[in-house]
Amino acid sequence: MDDEAPDALDRYWIAQDDEFRCGPIRKLARRDQVLRLVWLGDAEICNGGFQQLFGNSTGKDIRLMADAFAEIGATAAAEVIASAVGTLGSVFPLSIQSVRLWRLDRLTDAENDHLDALADQYYAVAESIHDQLSDYLFGPAADQTGARP
């Protein structure tokens, strides 16, 4: 957002505590689960691709992320995320970081290339995700300052 003032979504995120950001996701209300899954998933993917998302602690919730993206209307992003999760395989307990790291260390060159290509697909649709998440949480009538008509 460069030099822009934080909008309603940014202010809402900033106001949350560590329990919201890091605690068990299942303890959150559904709208807050979606916020956390989309916000952190988007940040991780845009910062370092799917390898970063899968390797960091945020990756514990990767099996839930595609549904959260779909719920806000970001269906193309949801499909890309689901494909990336499928690259790791469905037999692994992906909620355990050491298992994800073990699997990442064993990715073939082709699998890494596939994850990189999926990240490129994600970047192509990522620009609208902030607005889609804001609309999901606050409704499309909220402007960038959070004011409502």
Q: Residue 29 has what DSSP assignment?
A: -
Predicted TM-score (pTM) of the model is: 0.85
Residue 73 sits in which domain range? 8-138
Is 92 within a domain? yes
- Is 12 within a domain? yes
- Token readout for 68 is 């959260």
Give pLDDT, residue 23: 85
| Cβ atoms within 10 Å of 104's Cβ, excluding its own | 18
* Count of structural domains, the chain: 1
In a domain, 51, yes or no: yes
> Does residue 26 fall inside a structural domain?
yes
For residue 31, what pLDDT is reported? 93
147 lies in some domain? no
Residues of the chain with pLDDT under 50: 1, 142-149
Q: Tokens 């993206």 identify what position?
A: 69
pLDDT, position 83: 94
Contacts of residue 137, defined as CB under 8 A and 6 or more positions apart, other chains included, come to 9, 12, 31, 34, 35
Q: What is the pLDDT of residue 149?
A: 35
84 occurs within a structural domain? yes
* Residue 144 forms part of a structural domain: no
Please classify residue 72 by burial: count the beta carbons closer than 10 Å to its beta carbon, then call 0-12 exposed, 13-18 middle and 19+ buried: buried
Tell me if 69 is assigned to some domain: yes
